[in-house]
Amino acid sequence: MSRQVIINADDFGLSPAINEGIIRAYHVGGITSTSMMVNMPGFDHAVRSARSLPEFGIGLHFNLTYGRPVSDPASVPSLVRPDGTFHNGMSVFVRDSIDIARELDAQWDRFVGTSLYPAHLDSHHLLHQNDPMIYKIMAEKAIRENIPLRRSQIVHSIPDVPNPRMSDTILLDTYGDNDGLQRLLHHLLSLPEGITEIVCHPGYVDDVLRGISEWTDIREHELSVFVSGEITRTMQVLGIVPISYKAMKVIPNEPCELPSLPTLTQSIEKEKKILLASPRPHRESKRKRKTHRLLKKRGTRLRPSAARTRKRV
């Protein structure tokens, strides 16, 4: 089995500067995939950028902790504070499953309303990893929409919910410190067989980002790692194949074996000969009934044929 890697940059759509950093890393080959937030200030900029990059695999980064919901806040009361914004990740509260599913559908609809289609599904702040209920709702959504779901490091065994398509392994780490590049190269050296997703958060910093997140300068440090060129060179040397989630498209049904063309043609010809050689009882019977009615109208009886008057043995 070969070694394949998805390097996914989270938070596409968070701010225009984040988008620019992710796009630069993609052009250099440092990342192969991203996931987009549809309710954040950089969303429209991200959509315009994505339309010029049709081969770029872009997933939905389901968000319940930043900004406002796509749904009417009154329709998802368990997800929002009195001002209509999401509870932050540190708040202690209980989310209602109906509200979660409603907001997931709303974010999905906003994504596909751009004429783009999510290559996969994941979540901001590891929501589906930390909450089994959110995992269940997202797994069901991924199965319905026929797309992969980001693997959770915590195994959630949900009765009656089959596992959607996932990578074989996931690496969650940060690379914005002085040892970030060396640590990433070490991950590549020890990469197991199969498909591994490496999650990262590269990007430039702007005032929009500073007004939203405390995770700022470290993103630019990570960006320097993923645009260095060392990642692509190391993968080439090690024979690691870079892919996106588009390469993991789920096949909805098992392939159906169709007959070859010669076999199909022979079968059709055989059936055609049988049909041509067989009597047509319905047409003949209808003709006789019509003749009988005409003769009866004229006062003439239809003489039975010898074959019909002959005594059957």
Question: Is 92 a residue whose pLDDT tops 90?
Answer: no
pLDDT at 313 over 70: no
Question: Is the per-residue pLDDT at 44 higher than 50?
Answer: yes
Is the confidence at residue 297, as pLDDT, over 60? no
What distance lies between CA 129 and its chain's CA centroid? 18
Is residue 186 very low, low, confident or very high in pLDDT (cuts 50, 70, 90)?
A: very high
Domain ranges of the chain: 3-248, 262-309
Instruction: Give the residues across from 123 on adjacent strands.
Output: 62
- pLDDT of amino acid 253: 39
H or E segment at 294? helix 281-298
Strands (E), the chain: 3-12, 33-36, 57-62, 121-123, 169-172, 194-200, 241-242
Which of 101-115, 159-173, 251-265 reaches the highest mean pLDDT?
101-115
Q: How many helices (H) and strands (E) does the chain have?
A: 12, 7
Under 8 Å between Cβ of 214 and 23: no
Predicted local confidence at residue 268, as pLDDT: 36
CA torsion sign for 46, 47, 49, 54 is positive
pLDDT at 223 > cutoff 70: yes
Q: pLDDT tier at 159 (50, 70, 90 boundaries)?
A: low
Q: Which sign, positive or negative, has the C-alpha torsion 247, 248, 251, 256?
A: positive
Is pLDDT at 259 greater than 90 in this prediction?
A: no
CA distance linking residue 226 with residue 120, whole number of Å: 21
Is the per-residue pLDDT at 292 higher than 70? no
In the chain, the amino acid numbered 304 is: P
**198: β partners:** 7, 171
What token pair was written down for 216? 């700022």
- Looking at domain 3-248, which of 3.40.50.880, 3.20.20.370, 3.90.1170.50, 3.30.565.10 is its CATH number? 3.20.20.370
Supply the DSSP string of 121-190, one letter for each residue. Answer: EEEGGGHHHH-HHHHHHHHHHHHHHT--BPPPSS----TT-------SEEEE----STTHHHHHHHHHHT
**Averaged over 213-238, what is the pLDDT?**
95
For the cut 70, the answer to whether the pLDDT of residue 262 exceeds it is no
Averaged pLDDT score across all residues of the chain: 84
| 18, 31 contact by CB (below 8 A) | no
